[in-house]
Amino acid sequence: MTYIQANTGRAPIRWYKFNPKDMSERVPFKLVEKLDLNIVPGFRTKTEAKKAAIRLGLQTWRYIRFWGNG
């Protein structure tokens, strides 16, 4: 199972594209329209996904649970 972060706005859902290995305090990101698992990182746990969201500087976000490889 993989957790992927998405914006909290209304449809269409957009996805956060960023480098999950970037350990800087504020990680740059881009919102993309299509879920491409080659460019949108996934996390094995909600805790890992939450840590990434905080590093992105997000105040709110939603998790999408995806049954696939992350």
Residue-level pLDDT at 8: 83
Q: Is the pLDDT of residue 69 over 70?
A: no
| Tokens standing for residue 69 | 């490889």
Dihedral of CA atoms 1, 17, 7, 42 in degrees, nearest 10, equals 10
Q: What is the DSSP string of 24-39?
A: SSS---EEESS--TTT
4-54 tens-digit pLDDT? 989 887 778 899 999 998 878 889 999 999 999 999 999 999 999 999 999
Which residues are within 8 A (CB) of 28 and not within 5 positions of it... i.e. 6 or more apart?
A: 18, 22
Between 69 and 45, name the one with better pLDDT.
45
Q: What share of the chain is helix, strand, coil (3-state, %, to 5)?
A: 15, 25, 60
